[in-house]
């Protein structure tokens, strides 16, 4: 794929039919879901090298955004009438190809999964921006609807600001709760350490007292044992006095 990239956009309400038609036309496609939309990456062969695609087709809310070099986009534009005719024929038929089911086509994570998710997010933002820009140009071309369109923009911006503030508040509250939980855990750990140290000190003191008591008893036994032996011997050597 050439380094110079172009973008083509078209809109449709027949998302599944277009996905099926595109998957039938291009044989080597890597399919993946992106939020409420998805992406079809047209590859050169069955190796499905998504880093060097022929064409990248991102769909979201009925908008299809195609990215590729001039040759690949020209080829798609030439095939477009055939794809559209096929869509019209299959619009009421069940489609078994190119579904959004994660079970049929799970997203395979790779070492560059985070980079891919970032590119996916940027693609959706680019899609929304392009749609917004075209919508703005269409609205601005109609002078009668200019004021209404400006008001709609203000309302949208107000809603975006409200949603952003709400998200920030939720994140701030979650962060505060997390800090409180961490502080509680630290307090509990300190208390456990203090209890453990106190128990260890009590145990050491009791052990020392038992040792001292045993030593005292031992000294007493050693002190009393010789006296008892001497008294006994002395008693045994006494002889009765002869009668007078």
d(CA 83, CA 22): 7
Q: Within a domain: residue 89?
A: yes
d(CA 156, CA 150): 10
Among residues 76, 106, 141, the one where a domain terminates is 141
Residue ranges making up the domain that contains 186: 145-214
- So what's the pLDDT on residue 224? 76
Q: Within a domain: residue 184?
A: yes
Predicted TM-score (pTM) above 0.85:
no
pLDDT of 40 strictly over 50:
yes
d(CA 122, CA 236): 112
The neighbouring-strand residues paired with 163 are: none
Q: Within a domain: residue 239?
A: no
The answer to whether residues 190 and 129 belong to one domain is no
Query: Residue 97 in 3-state DSSP?
Result: coil
The answer to whether residues 204 and 100 belong to one domain is no
Contacts with 18 (C-beta within 8 Å, 6 or more apart), sequence order: 12, 59, 64, 83, 87
Query: Which whole number is the average pLDDT over 47-64?
Result: 88
Number of structural domains in the chain:
2
The answer to whether residues 126 and 157 belong to one domain is no
pLDDT of 107 strictly over 50:
no
The answer to whether residues 84 and 124 belong to one domain is yes
CA 116 from centre of chain = 15
Residue 42: pLDDT band with limits 50, 70, 90: very high
The answer to whether residues 54 and 163 belong to one domain is no
Residue 112: pLDDT band with limits 50, 70, 90: low
The answer to whether residues 125 and 182 belong to one domain is no
pLDDT digits (tens, 9 = 90+) for 138-190: 666 666 666 777 788 889 889 988 888 888 988 898 889 989 988 999 999 99
- So what's the pLDDT on residue 4? 58
The answer to whether residues 56 and 156 belong to one domain is no
Among residues 126, 141, 156, the one where a domain terminates is 141
- So what's the pLDDT on residue 76? 92
Q: Within a domain: residue 97?
A: yes
The answer to whether residues 126 and 195 belong to one domain is no
The answer to whether residues 48 and 133 belong to one domain is yes
% of the chain with per-residue pLDDT over 90 = 16
Query: Which whole number is the average pLDDT over 62-84?
Result: 90
Question: Is residue 116 packed enough to be buried (19+ CB in 10 Å), middle (13-18) or exposed (0-12)?
Answer: middle
Mean pLDDT of the chain: 77
């Amino acid at each position: 794929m050439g380094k110079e990239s172009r973008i083509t956009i078209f809109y449709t309400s027949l998302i599944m039919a277009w996905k099926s038609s595109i998957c039938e036309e291009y044989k080597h496609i890597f399919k993946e879901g992106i939020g409420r939309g998805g992406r079809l990456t047209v590859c050169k062969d069955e190796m499905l090298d998504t880093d060097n695609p022929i064409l990248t087709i991102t769909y979201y809310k009925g908008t299809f955004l195609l990215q590729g070099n001039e040759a690949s986009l020209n080829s798609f534009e030439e095939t477009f009438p055939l794809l559209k005719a096929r869509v019209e024929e299959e619009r009421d038929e069940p489609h078994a190809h190119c579904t959004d089911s994660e079970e049929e086509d799970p997203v395979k994570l790779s070492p560059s999964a985070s980079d891919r998710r970032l590119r996916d997010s940027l693609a959706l933002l680019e899609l929304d921006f392009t749609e917004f820009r075209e919508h703005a140009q269409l609205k601005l071309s109609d002078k009668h609807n200019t004021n209404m369109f400006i008001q709609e923009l203000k309302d949208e911006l107000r809603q975006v600001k409200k949603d952003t503030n709400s998200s920030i508040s939720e994140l701030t509250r979650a962060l505060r709760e997390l800090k409180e939980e961490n502080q509680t855990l630290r307090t509990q750990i300190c208390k456990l350490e203090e209890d453990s140290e106190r128990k260890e000190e009590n145990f050491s003191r009791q052990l020392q007292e038992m040792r001292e008591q045993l030593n005292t008893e031992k000294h007493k036994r050693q002190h009393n044992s010789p006296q008892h032996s001497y008294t006994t011997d002395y008693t045994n050597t006494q002889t009765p006095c002869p009668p007078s």
